């Protein structure tokens, strides 16, 4: 049995060393350390990793971290809510959100055309610019084909973005499908509706995409889930693992509690009763703000994987990108001479 051990700061300690020290502190620090261990195990076991998150996390600065995780090969399938799609596109187009306060007067903000997400502020103008961008994107998509599964549509949009910190861009570039079962639940859905009024043969097929997520994995493959928050994004991934024999690994990070009886508060242990997670699976549930718990958990896991040379190298990818740029430049020079 592990004994409680007094924590001490060591100058120069890594995130991995910090989280390792959580082993002896107690309370939620124990679960956080366990969560990092489970992520390492799912990666070492060559599991298909589902990463799920809600839109408020894309509103925050975690957006760039999610795109980096995709780049580093730490997830194979993404499930999110439509607000995250919208705000990723907005930020890829140069929109910036502001950090305010939780206590800011909401009525006053409304009068100024500012929307509040916790302590993050988004101007109405951001959504107005998004509307113009959506009209252009949908017209291009329509010209290419009339019927789209949601994940295929999102990949196509991702290919049009030129932002290394964009989730859609990195997912498209690295062939990581993004599923958004509630695609109509936001401004994105409203613009789909408006576009369809003038283009009756334009169809976004949500049912087909359900088949797509099911065929992302098989019964025989190892499966892992990293679920941030709850909502439909968490359940959609778990449902697909349930129909494919259950997940072998599961990490939940949330502020919700099991006493609510909600999907957001449901623990990894509860998931076993449904068969969403296998009886013998490695699991961890961390209660706390994901903007704090997730970077600590994931960085600790990635530092461990990097030490064991099991993490995709950013330096190698940057070198390859530079070589490709040089090749493209040489091609242009040859064309110019000819």
pLDDT at residue 314 tops 70: no
Q: How far apart are CA 34 and CA 10, in angstroms?
A: 21
- Residues 192-236 have pLDDT tens digits of 999 999 999 999 999 999 999 999 999 999 999 999 998 899 999
Q: Give the HSE-up count for residue 153: Cα atoms under 13 Å, Cβ half-sphere.
A: 30
Q: Predicted confidence band at 338 (pLDDT cuts at 50, 70, 90)? A: low
The reported pLDDT for the residue numbered 334 is 62
Share of the chain above pLDDT 90, in %: 82
Q: Predicted confidence band at 287 (pLDDT cuts at 50, 70, 90)? A: very high
Q: How far apart are CA 206 and CA 100, in angstroms?
A: 36
- Cβ–Cβ contacts within 10 Å for residue 315, how many? 7
The reported pLDDT for the residue numbered 267 is 82
Catalytic residues: 276
Q: Give the HSE-up count for residue 279: Cα atoms under 13 Å, Cβ half-sphere.
A: 0
Q: How far apart are CA 186 and CA 207, in angstroms?
A: 19
The reported pLDDT for the residue numbered 325 is 62
- Residues 119-175 have pLDDT tens digits of 999 999 999 999 999 999 999 999 999 999 999 999 999 999 999 999 999 999 999
CB 236 within 8 A of CB 213: yes
- Residues 25-57 have pLDDT tens digits of 999 999 999 999 999 999 999 999 999 999 999
The reported pLDDT for the residue numbered 333 is 58
pLDDT at residue 320 tops 90: no
Strand partners, 284: 251
- Residues 240-268 have pLDDT tens digits of 999 999 999 999 999 988 888 887 788 88
Q: What angle (nearest 5°) sits at the alpha carbon of residue 135, between those of residues 140 and 88?
A: 90
How many angstroms separate the first and last alpha carbons of the chain? 74
pTM of the model: 0.90
The reported pLDDT for the residue numbered 326 is 61
pLDDT at residue 324 tops 90: no
- Going from the C-alpha of 66 to that of each of 13, 18, 299, the distances in angstroms are 24, 22, 12
Q: What is the mean pLDDT of residues 303-319?
A: 80
Lowest mean pLDDT among 16-25, 212-221, 272-281, 289-298: 272-281
pLDDT at residue 90 tops 60: yes
The reported pLDDT for the residue numbered 263 is 79
pLDDT at residue 303 tops 60: yes
CB 234 within 8 A of CB 271: no
Lowest mean pLDDT among 55-59, 63-67, 177-181, 255-259: 255-259
- Cβ–Cβ contacts within 10 Å for residue 146, how many? 12
């Amino acid at each position: 049995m592990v004994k409680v051990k007094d924590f001490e700061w060591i100058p120069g300690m890594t995130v991995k060393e910090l989280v390792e020290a959580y082993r002896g502190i107690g309370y939620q620090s124990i679960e956080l350390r366990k969560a990092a261990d489970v992520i390492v195990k799912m990666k070492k076991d060559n599991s298909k990793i589902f990463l799920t998150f809600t839109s408020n996390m894309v509103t925050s600065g975690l957006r760039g971290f999610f795109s980096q995780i995709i780049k580093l090969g730490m997830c194979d399938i993404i499930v999110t809510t439509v607000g995250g799609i919208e705000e990723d596109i907005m930020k890829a187009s140069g929109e910036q959100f502001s950090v305010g306060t939780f206590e800011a007067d909401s009525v006053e903000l409304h009068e100024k055309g500012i929307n509040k997400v916790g302590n993050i502020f988004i101007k109405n103008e951001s959504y107005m610019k998004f509307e113009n961008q959506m009209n252009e994107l949908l017209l291009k998509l329509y010209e290419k084909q009339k019927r789209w599964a949601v994940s295929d549509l999102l990949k196509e949009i991702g290919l049009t973005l030129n932002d290394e910190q964009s989730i859609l861009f990195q997912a498209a570039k690295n062939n990581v499908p993004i599923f958004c079962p509630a695609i109509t639940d936001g401004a994105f859905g409203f613009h789909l509706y408006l576009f369809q009024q003038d283009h009756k043969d334009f169809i976004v097929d949500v049912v087909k995409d359900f088949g797509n997520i099911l065929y992302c994995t098989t019964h025989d493959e190892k499966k892992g889930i990293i679920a941030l928050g709850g909502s439909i994004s968490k359940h959609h991934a778990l449902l697909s693992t349930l129909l494919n024999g259950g997940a072998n690994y599961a990490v939940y990070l949330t502020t919700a509690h099991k006493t609510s009886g909600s999907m957001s508060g449901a623990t990894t242990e509860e998931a076993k009763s449904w068969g969403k997670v296998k009886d013998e699976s490695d699991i961890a549930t961390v209660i706390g703000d994901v903007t704090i718990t997730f970077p600590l958990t994931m960085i600790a896991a990635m530092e461990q994987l990097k030490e064991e040379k099991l993490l995709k190298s950013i330096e190698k990818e940057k070198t390859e990108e530079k070589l490709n740029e040089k090749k493209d430049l040489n091609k242009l020079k040859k064309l110019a001479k000819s």
